[in-house]
Structure 1
Amino acid sequence: MKKKLIILFFIGGLLSISSCSEDLDLGNPNKLTNESFWKTSADLESGVGTIYNALVDNNNAGYWEIQSMQLKENRTENFIARNDVPGRYAVATYKNSPSTAETTAIYKTLYIGIFRANQVIHYAPQIQGIDETKREQLVAEASFLRGLNYFCLVTEYGSVPIFTDIVTNQEDYFKAKSTEAEVWNQVIADFELAATSSLPENYPAAYKGRATKNAAIAYLGKTYLYMKNWVKAEEQFTKLVNNEGTNGYGLLDDYAQLFDGKHENSKESVFEIQFSKVGGTIIWGGEPSQRTRATTMAQECAPGEVGGWFELLPSKTLLDAMLQEKTADGEFDPRATATLAWNYPGCVYYKADFATKFGANAIWIRKNQNWWNNDEGDWKSELNEYAMRYADVLLMLAEAKTMQGNVAEAAPLVKRIRDRAKLADISMVGWNQTQMMDEIMHQRNVEFAREGLHWYDLRRWGTLETVIKGSLREGYNNFSAKYNYYPIPSSELNNNPKMTPNAPW
């Protein structure tokens, strides 16, 4: 089912080739796109494919590839970074700088995605012989993806430049930063366009993973939530939650099925990043046609005992949070055993008894790890990553209601998350805003551990510095509000005469 979409990404990736032999009579290669491409519906479709491709580009720190995924977690209290990759370790211990290569690469790749989206939006009107509904849908899809890239930029870097059209001259290329408020407004504009377009609410199986109208609505709600506009956030999330009968969203009964590779693009998937063992065999480097559409995240996080690189290790702090509450039957919270492997009775990890192979005190990641397998030598994984799950929508709606004082209306939404985890039924009657937010904060931490949301939750709740310093995790004494955001890269500051650092960098 995911093969067709990934092939679209692969074909689209060919557009990123920007050079060719001077001996070939092809004219100026920089004019190849303008004069020889953007002629047909297939060209426009492939152009959209290039935007998706940037999200998973392992060579340039795609936002859902191994490097970016690790950086989302290794600066929280829940994970510890190995020190063999200096840039990642610097981020994890709050010693990174504007010249840190990894955060520079993320910045660059998010703008690559924006550049590709702008191309689709710019050239779409000139395509001949295309169904008008299809044209509108592809433009809306590109707008959603542009909005997603700007959402990531503003949440990681704060104030950044805005580009909404192709760059045709040097004057357009060098832009000053827009304010954070202006970037958020651009995000809203892009998501609103997609949310009110003729994009389908769902795709047939062969096209699962593409952006839908419902994904745009969900991200529009998330944008308003991050902006603390609780009323508008609730308005968007309610559109989804009140229409489960038609949009098909819901929670899987078994939490572990979300990460077993057999239930991908399920009713809980709002926007899911697709990986597949198609394409070439190369992970890093090479031409787009040579690269795999798989990920090596499983090897990055696996123990050395099975050939892994142990780049991201869960902390005792995370395990303690996972064990804070047991099920109504006195068992471990199923989210704990689906997310982590540790020394508990009967724990099997990579086909081995845990304590015997990994030690009595070890803690390892189980979520998205192919832990049921141990095929050393080929670590390419096709396990998808969730950009947004429906559980996230439910908890964000609960938060929007709670922050408006509607605690009683939030309770049933939180109960759905607790019930899926088989936790005891607790009475939330009479809870105040603080009590409900404490519960939502805990449930979000346990529900989405390893999925790259926790850092941004802590920051928007205003608890980031307290949590980091209170955890005594490695580098905690280096932390200050300076590290809430990544700095604008040195390369951007040096090359763009209109660029200035963001405070307090």
Structure 2
Amino acid sequence: MKNSKLYILIAVFTLSGIGCSEDLLDVENPNTPIVDNFWKTEADAEMGLNAAYNMFYKPSTWTRWIYFRYDLSSDEGHSTSPWGELADWTRFRYFNYNFWDGNNWHWRDFYKAIFRTNQVITYVPEIPFDEGRRDRILAQARFIRALYYFQIALLWEDAPIVLAPSKPDDQPEQRTEAEIWAQVEEDLNWAKDRLPDEWDDANLGRATKGAAKALLARAYAQQKKYPQAQAELEWLVTGDGKQYYGLVDDYRDNFTHNKENNIESVFEIQFSDRNKGNDGDNLSASMGFQRTQFFAPGGIGWQDGKARAWLIDEYKKEKTKDGKNDRRLLNNIFYKQAYKDFPDAANNDTLVYNRPWNNDDWGNETFIKKYSTYYYRDREDYHAPNNFRFIRYADVLLLYAEMLNENGQTADAYEYVNRVRERASTNLPKLEDAYPEIGNDAALFRKRLQMERSLELCFEAVRWMDLKRWNMLSTQSGIDELRTRDVDFDNFVLGKNHRLPIPQIEVDNNIYLDQNTPY
């Protein structure tokens, strides 16, 4: 009897297997959206766009590692990390082109962000809802796509351009740096007049018209298209957009979590310490600013990134109108003698996270203070709440002055440098009074402006971009000058290290992709 029952059960399961449709084995998870059941509503469009913004919160982008490429590889900073390969990638020693934290992770996540924007740009136009709201979503997606292609052009120069949702077996063709810049221009020109001048409080941090114009001006400037760059900046500086922007009185307010999204912010990445999860794509993933953990002095953070000491000397070459040292030095760098140079500063400002200088561990080191959280806590972690000011209005003013100078309007350029120098907390004399020998000499003005940008914008991820624009990474005279400030440039190979090698695994897996020469 038992055997008969067993045979019957076997027969049932066998017949069930023969008669079963494959469709019954391919059941969709209703909790997991796919292309066919997602992109249907305005809410879907918003979520898709938010996923693109979310890429700012990855270690490979503006959470952590990008500052090693832009700040520490420049003459403003350096790394003494015990992780040798990490430090080597700030010293132009690229032995392993597949070094994840210095190269591959950037490449993967920049294109991952582009993939997310491509989904929005491809699928949202088919969703029926208000045209104005739809265009604002598409404009933000194109702004973000342009922002990432900007980084690709800056770091690798020649690379694929992908403008549609990609598939795992795609092998996109390599395109030239000029073609990538052209794509950046196309996206930002489309976006700039479809973005609002400003957002309400609930949407702070989204791209605006001013942000698109400022980023487009940067792209034009990198290509030496100075008249076009000046034209874009005029809206923010002398045109209708100037009502939205200005300089805050206290320079430090640009780098704390207390005065975020202020009048000086043109585009700001919104960090938060509310979620203290990991770096994945789940709902509890971290949205904290991790750079502070890697740059803080030992015992407070990892001290993987440090400031170059020449900046201290440059700050101290000029005195304020009342005969004191430039307070930006106190805001930007931890160094041993700060208490002597700023005797009237609040005690906490001259200490290091409420601690006296640790001579045994820190010696005469100089640490990056900008964006640190020393002003309200005793040590760093991976969850600092400080927003990163991707584009500040001070940057806009200095870039506008640079474009005026390059376009033969040197006399008009002084005004915009002086606005930055004469900020209430900076209080430096006018540029023409401090350096009367410059006059209307465009070359002398250019050289001084290079230093003005560093003193104002150091450790804000713009220095590498500036050095490339000024041809300092493509000429022997430029490298020779950088060597006087940064010994790591002794390793710099002209004609090679102005760009990164493409991750070798990408070259090996794509027949249409060639390694950057002469790597």
TM-score between both structures, scaled by the size of structure 2: 0.86
- Secondary structure, in 3 states, of the residue corresponding to 2:123? helix
Cα distance in 1, alignment partners of residues 464 and 132 from structure 2:
39
Cα distance in 1, alignment partners of residues 191 and 248 from structure 2:
27
Partner of 2:190: 193
Provide, for residues 412-463 of structure 1, a one-character-per-residue CA deviation record: whole Å limited to 9, x for no partner.
Answer: 1111111112112342583310121112101111111111111221122122
Query: Could you tell me the percent identity over the aligned residues?
Result: 29
Superposed counterparts of 1:263-274, under 5 Å? 263-274=259-270
- Secondary structure, in 3 states, of the residue corresponding to 1:352? coil
- Secondary structure, in 3 states, of the residue corresponding to 2:184? helix
- Secondary structure, in 3 states, of the residue corresponding to 2:515? coil
Which blocks of at least 5 consecutive residues in structure 1 are unaligned?
A: 1-21
Partner of 2:89: 91
Cα distance in 2, alignment partners of residues 263 and 290 from structure 1:
26
Cα distance in 2, alignment partners of residues 161 and 360 from structure 1:
46
CA positional deviation for 1:207: 1.1
Provide, for residues 299-327 of structure 1, a one-character-per-residue CA deviation record: whole Å limited to 9, x for no partner.
Answer: 21111233x10010112122222223221
Partner of 1:450: 459
Pair 1:263–1:53, CA change in 2 (3 A): same
Greater CA drift, 221-230 or 458-467: 458-467
Cα distance in 2, alignment partners of residues 168 and 482 from structure 1:
32
- The reply to whether residue 385 of structure 1 matches residue 388 of structure 2 is yes
- The reply to whether residue 333 of structure 1 matches residue 326 of structure 2 is yes
AA aligned opposite 1:195: K
- Secondary structure, in 3 states, of the residue corresponding to 2:389? strand
Superposed counterparts of 1:423-502, under 5 Å? 423-427=428-432, 430-464=439-473, 465-474=479-488, 476-502=490-516
Cα distance in 2, alignment partners of residues 24 and 290 from structure 1:
30
Tell whether the 8 Å contact from 1:143 to 1:191 is kept in structure 2 after alignment: yes
CA positional deviation for 1:27: 6.2
Q: What is the RMSD computed on CA atoms of the aligned residues?
A: 2.3
Which blocks of at least 5 consecutive residues in structure 2 are unaligned?
A: 1-23, 344-349, 474-478
Tell whether the 8 Å contact from 1:99 to 1:489 is kept in structure 2 after alignment: yes
Pair 1:239–1:503, CA change in 2 (3 A): same
Pair 1:404–1:243, CA change in 2 (3 A): closer
CA positional deviation for 1:169: 8.0
Cα distance in 2, alignment partners of residues 27 and 115 from structure 1:
23
Provide, for residues 209-247 of structure 1, a one-character-per-residue CA deviation record: whole Å limited to 9, x for no partner.
Answer: 100111111111111111101111111101111136764
AA aligned opposite 1:406: Q
Tell whether the 8 Å contact from 1:351 to 1:373 is kept in structure 2 after alignment: no
- The reply to whether residue 293 of structure 1 matches residue 276 of structure 2 is no
Tell whether the 8 Å contact from 1:256 to 1:334 is kept in structure 2 after alignment: no
Cα distance in 1, alignment partners of residues 448 and 378 from structure 2:
40
Partner of 1:395: 398
Tell whether the 8 Å contact from 2:244 to 2:263 is kept in structure 1 after alignment: yes
AA aligned opposite 1:372: Y
- Secondary structure, in 3 states, of the residue corresponding to 1:483? coil
Cα distance in 1, alignment partners of residues 439 and 307 from structure 2:
36
AA aligned opposite 2:500: Y
**401, 404, 407: which one aligns with 1:404:** 407
- The reply to whether residue 225 of structure 1 matches residue 221 of structure 2 is yes
Cα distance in 1, alignment partners of residues 168 and 73 from structure 2:
39
CA positional deviation for 1:395: 0.9
Greater CA drift, 471-480 or 366-375: 471-480
Superposed counterparts of 1:78-227, under 5 Å? 78-96=76-94, 97-101=96-100, 102-128=102-128, 130-167=129-166, 170=169, 173-197=170-194, 199-227=195-223
Pair 1:363–1:436, CA change in 2 (3 A): same
- Secondary structure, in 3 states, of the residue corresponding to 2:338? coil
Aligned length, in residue pairs: 473
Tell whether the 8 Å contact from 1:469 to 1:479 is kept in structure 2 after alignment: no
Greater CA drift, 381-390 or 318-327: 318-327
Pair 1:169–1:289, CA change in 2 (3 A): closer
Partner of 1:250: 246
AA aligned opposite 2:278: I
- The reply to whether residue 39 of structure 1 matches residue 40 of structure 2 is yes
Partner of 1:368: 371
CA positional deviation for 1:139: 0.5
AA aligned opposite 1:504: P
CA positional deviation for 1:377: 7.8
Cα distance in 2, alignment partners of residues 83 and 360 from structure 1:
16
Partner of 1:52: 53
AA aligned opposite 2:112: I
